[in-house]
Structure 1
Amino acid sequence: MDEIAFVKSNVQNQQLIKKIRKYNDSLAFKSLFQKYLPVVCNSITRYHFRFLEIEDLVQEARLVCYQDVLAYKLKSQVSFGKFFQRSLRNHYCSLLRKENASKRQQEKYAESFEEVLENRRDYSVSLTSFSYYPLSILIAQEQLQEAIEYLSEMEFEIMYLLMVEHQTPERIAAELEKETIQIKRAISRCHKKISETIQKK
């Protein structure tokens, strides 16, 4: 999107937001949400929900969008689209965290760790690789299940990207708009929390 189109889109968003806030305009909200439906669909596909229906996830996205309409600062340097995308990512990650905390997800984690173990030889043993952290060896699916309860939403998202999507700390940092050192420290904290959980068993 070029600069002119970006500015035009942002102006349109602000006009819709004002209508929604002032008149609770359902048509304005429908128009705004429809504009970011591709973002919603991409997020649903990315996070691999197993027990939530697509219709439910779209409804969750509508709620997030409406909350963002009320919370968004019109003079912000961040576009509404970026603001909504970040909020939706955090919300879906929170839902996924709750879903994965259920015992129904044990099979999913067993499969995830089996895949990590099978592909472990493809990862170099370094600080930037998952194999540096012996989670795939130390953690049984039930132990991981319990350990997740002690991770913050941000820590869970980082570990999900690291373990399930096999992203590097550098790529995770870019996606979450954090410094690489912050991501590495978060991974280290997660490793410590999970290790402590295992030692208590």
Structure 2
Amino acid sequence: MANIAIVYFSKCGATKALAEHIAGGIRSVLNAEPVLLEIQPKDIIEGRYTNDAIFEQLKTCDGIIFGSPTYMGGPAAQFKAFMDTSSDTYCEQDWKDKWAAGFTCGGSLNGEQEQTLFSFFVLACQHGMVWAGLNTSEHTSDKGLNRLGSNIGLTACNNHIDELVDENDAQTAQYLGLRVARLATQ
């Protein structure tokens, strides 16, 4: 059984909704199971992420999908605290050769969301992980998968009405989960 972790922070619910859609995509693959791990602000003390249990869970996973809203062109501070704390994991090479991917959500169609994905990509590379971007070219219209056209990972835009995500972004999230699960179970 391949366990794929989805480690994410969500303030208003849109990023959490994407994480749940990604989990649905993972579940659709035989012998793959999602592990949803939400970054909680209470676990950040003096700017440092302190939940060691999440790092223990991540050691046993075959892949990790990182997720955060994009704030001011980068990951939320809560997720950045998690990233910084992963330096101990880096020293031990606990994530080496695991699959990695990323997703983000913002309040506009761009908002430099790819910068957040680049942060996740660099984090994955520093940990010796193998990055899985989106392998779809259906973004030639806003009706298909990957409507915002980012191949490095999933970018999404919330709808500002109920803080949920666009239906196409939700489908792309499910596809990202399916893609990483297929890679991890090969």
Q: Tell me the TM-score normalized by structure 2.
A: 0.28
Higher Cα Rg: structure 1 or 2?
1
Of structures 1 and 2, the one with the larger relative CO (CA 8 A, separation 6+) is 2
Structure with greater strand percent: 2
User: TM-score, normalising length from structure 1?
Assistant: 0.26
Could you say which structure has the higher helix fraction? 1
